[in-house]
Structure 1
Amino acid sequence: MTPRTRTTTDVDALTQAVQARIEARVAELAAQGRRLDLGDVEDLADRMLAALPSVHPLDQPLGPFYDTSGLVAWLGISRQALFDRVRRGTVLACRTSDGHLVYPSLQFGRNGAVRPGVQEAVGAFSRRAVDGWSIGAWLTTPSEVFDGHSAVDYLVVHRSSPTAVSRVASAAVADASQWAA
């Protein structure tokens, strides 16, 4: 199956799944004598799409990225809570030239949690005031430290095992101490 066919199949499956769930909700409400009020359908569609990463010119190799509003909607948290996570070094954010923050999707698992190992690396570099783009480059650049893989790929290959997480975290601490003056 080609990537295009796979994407089309995935979109069709998602569309059908959402439609089935909406129809089930309409039936549940009707059984209670209530009606589903979707409000502004375009606004609802936009909020649903906010859970998907957006396309950005810097998508390779670090992206795709979430923007702040999309990530807040997907995680179900406030902007303040997201910015607090960035400040504490538990979420990687990269500031664009026009001042906006974007968040590489590679750091998140399907449940929205930051992947083990990535969080430790982001924290190690953030504590040394290393900028998000540099952290992202470190996470995605192949290295002999990770057997020729990038830190992120190394974690994936080793399924974020405790040993792999420890290796990435240790390498991040060592490199961060050398990068920051």
Structure 2
Amino acid sequence: MTRAPQTTHRTAQAYRRAVLAAVDAAVSERLREVEVRGGSPDDLGEPAELAERMAATLPSAAHPLDVELGPFYDTTGLCAWWAVSRQALSDRVRRGTLLACRTADGHLVYPSFQFAKDGTVRAGIVDAVSVFSRHGVDGWTAAVWFTTPSPAFDGESAVDHLVVHRSSAAAVARVVGQAQADVATWAA
């Protein structure tokens, strides 16, 4: 899972068609489920509002560090995906349970690598973010730490190590232990 340049690229139009086909299939299935339960398609909300909520879950693009660390969610997108307030995100960042990076213009962005498919912060990442947060490590430093291949993880990055090992207890312990060791070294 190490980030490497892709050798084949889909055109934007081909990518759009593939996404729209997948969204169409998922929405069709959801509508069938609603109707089986005796509901109405209107139960899902207004089509334009539903489309806006779905689009808000896409990570934002074109950040200078997208290749190395991204893509990123912005606050608006992550609030929509999680269906929470800005204050709830701010609280998670303050408590050290969500990795956020402050841009030069003062906005927070959230590296997408920290999220599992269901939107939860991956086990191991949330624990290491807590370690970094308690020691005042900024989000950019933590993001680089998570994505840089390291001998501590047999040449993988911490994120890749967690993904490959499915965030097993041993993988989480290894990542957290290395985060603690590195923070202690940085403070020395």
What TM bracket, shorter-length normalisation?
0.7 to 0.9
**2:66 counterpart of 1:66:** no
Q: 1:110 to 1:180 in 2, by over 3 A?
A: same
Q: What runs of 5+ residues in structure 2 fail to find an aligned partner?
A: 1-7
Matched letter for residue 142 of structure 1: P
Matched letter for residue 27 of structure 2: V
Q: 1:106 to 1:37 in 2, by over 3 A?
A: closer
| 8 Å contact kept, 1:50–1:69 | yes
Residue of 147, 150, 153 corresponding to 1:146? 153
- TM-score of the aligned structures, taking structure 1 as reference length: 0.84
| 8 Å contact kept, 1:56–1:63 | no
Q: What runs of 5+ residues in structure 1 fail to find an aligned partner?
A: none
Root mean square deviation, CA, Å: 2.6
Residue of 78, 91, 98 corresponding to 1:84? 91
Q: Counterpart in 2 of 1:134?
A: 141
C-alpha displacement at 1:45, in angstroms? 2.5
Instruction: Give the 5 Å matches for 1:93-112.
Output: 93-112=100-119
Q: 1:37 to 1:178 in 2, by over 3 A?
A: closer
Q: 1:144 to 1:13 in 2, by over 3 A?
A: same
State the SS of the aligned residue for 1:28: coil
State the SS of the aligned residue for 1:66: strand
TM-superposition CA deviations, 1:40-89 (whole Å, max 9, x none): x2x54222211121213221121111000110111111111111110011
Q: Counterpart in 1 of 2:62?
A: 56
CA distance in 2, matches of 1:48, 1:23: 19
Aligned length, in residue pairs:
175
CA distance in 2, matches of 1:159, 1:128: 27
- TM-score of the aligned structures, taking structure 2 as reference length: 0.82
C-alpha displacement at 1:179, in angstroms? 1.9
